[in-house]
Amino acid sequence: MERMVLKSKKLMKVFVIFIFLVSCFQVASQHHVFGKITFERRTNLEKRYTDQRMKRMINENNKIRNESFTFYFNDTASAFIPLQDNNPSEVSWMTSKNAYYQNLSEIKQLTVLSLFGQFLYIEDSLPQRSWKITENTRNIAGYDCRKAIYQKNDSTRIYAWYSTSLVPSVGPEGFCGLPGTILGVATEDGGIIYFAKKVEFIQPKKEELQANIGKNKVLTIKELKADIEKKFGSQPWGRRMFDDLFRWL
């Protein structure tokens, strides 16, 4: 169990609730409710792809991909937007470039999936994930963050680091639901890592927090999955492609 250190005998009474101080962090000294965060994502393609045929395209020189994202947030909304890739390579297509718009007051999330250059708009309620809180902390971009773990399934665990100094319960790549803004996300094997590189306290403009859907159709995840199951159900490569698309959803 979480390390309980009992320092006082008088607290050992049965049927009692104890309080004590466990730990503390050194933190920036203010609470913030809005800002702009630059995230960097580092993907190790070698870890990311287990398929041997994909691995043949991956070599020592291109296996690590670094990509950047901008994250705008205020107390009710956030937007996570991929930045232009200025360092394209023949394996650029192997990483996802999805955008997310979280709305805390309506408890909704709009996801813009980029599927080989085509955009799919998905609106659903904010994801409800079961987080495990740990006592591990690390400093990301000047903010002390607590590590939480999300057990996606039997074999996938995702780490997220959040800071209570940033009040809104939002985060990158559609992650949210922790008692503070998420500044770091990583798969357990370190194959994909998102870290905040820069945190600026700029009030985001209204249009920066809203997706331009245009006349495109907006689906729910369920509808999209059903659509894909219909179209690609019998094709193993199609299923693989979309499994990957939903890796975070």
Partner 1 sequence: MKKFLSLVIFVTLTFKLQAQEMRVKGVVFDTSGTKPLPNTGVMAVRIKDSVLLRHTRTNINGEFSLTGFQVDTFTLYVEHPEYDTKTFFIFGSKSNSEIDIPKISLSGKSKQLKEVIVYANKNPIYFKGDTLVYVADSFKVGENAVVEDLLKKLPGIKVDENGTITSQGKQINQVLVDGDEFFGTDPTIATRNLGAKGVESVQIYEKEKENAKAGEEDKIQVLDLKLKEDAKKGYFGKFSAATDFGLFQDNPFYETEILANKFEGKQKISIFLLGSNTPKSNFKWGDMNKFGLENERNNSGMSNWNQGNTNNTSGIPRTVKAGIYYTDKIGKTGKIGFNYAYYDTRLDVASSSFSQYFLPDTTFFTKDSSNNKSTNTSHRINMNFSMNIDSLTFFELKPNVNFDEAVADNTSISEFIDSLQIRSLRSDIKNKDESLGITSNSEALLRRKFKRPKRELELKYILNYSKNRTTGQLLNAAQFDLVGSPDTTFRQDKTNENGSTNHYTLLTYTEPITERIKIQVEYLYEFGDQLQDKRTYDLDVNSGLYTSENTLFSNNFDNIRQQNRGTILGIYEDRKHTLIGGIGFRNIDITNRNLITDSVTPQNISNYLPQFSYQFKPSISKRFGFFYTTNSQQPSVSDLQPVRDNSNPNRMQEGNPDLKPNYVHNVRMNFNTWSALTGRYIWSGFNASLTNNAFANSTSFDSYGRTISRTENVDGNIFSNLFAGFGLPLFNRKFEINPNVNASYMRYTNIINDQENITQNRSISGGTEFELKLDSLQISVGGDYSYTSPVSSLASASNTPFVTQTYKVDFEWQLPANFKIKADAKYVINSQRTAGFNRNIFVVNTELSRSFLKTENLIITLSGNDLLNQNLNLQRQINGNIVTDNFTKIISRYFLLRLTYKFNRNKTKEEEWKGWY
The answer to the question of residue 214 lying near partner 1 (CB under 8 A) is: no
Specify whether the CB–CB gap between 89 and 61 falls below 8 A.
no
Of residues 37-76, those binding partner 1 (CB under 8 A)? 42, 46-47, 50-53, 55, 64
Question: Does residue 27 interact with partner 1 by CB under 8 A?
Answer: yes
Contact 100, 122 (CB under 8 A): no
How far is the C-alpha of 127 from the C-alpha of 130, rounded, in Å? 10
Q: How far apart are CA 189 and CA 48, in angstroms?
A: 9
Q: How far is the CB of 32 from partner 1 (least distance, A)?
A: 9
Name which of residues 153 to 172 contact partner 1 (CB under 8 A): 154-155, 157, 164-165, 167, 169
Of 141, 148, 135, the C-alpha closest to 180 is 148
Q: Please give the structure tokens belonging to residue 42.
A: 């580092």
Q: Which of 180, 185, 199, 209 binds partner 1 (CB under 8 A)?
A: 180
Interface segment toward partner 1; rule CB under 8 A; list 103-111, 174-182, 198-206, 207-215: 174-182
In the complex, minimum distance from the CB of residue 186 to partner 1, in angstroms, rounded to a whole number: 8
Is 221 an interacting residue with respect to partner 1 (CB under 8 A)? no
Number of residues engaging partner 1 in binding (CB under 8 A):
84
Say if residues 78 and 52 touch (Cβ distance below 8 Å).
no
Alpha-carbon distance values, 23 to 4, 5, 26, 137, 140 (Å): 11, 11, 10, 10, 18
Residue 242's CB: how many other CB atoms inside 10 A? Answer: 19
Between residue 108 and residue 137, which ones bind partner 1 under the rule CB under 8 A? 114-118, 120, 130-135, 137
Binding status of residue 189 toward partner 1 by CB under 8 A = yes
CB of 80 to partner 1, least distance (A): 19
Q: Does the footprint of partner 1 cover residue 237 (CB under 8 A)?
A: yes
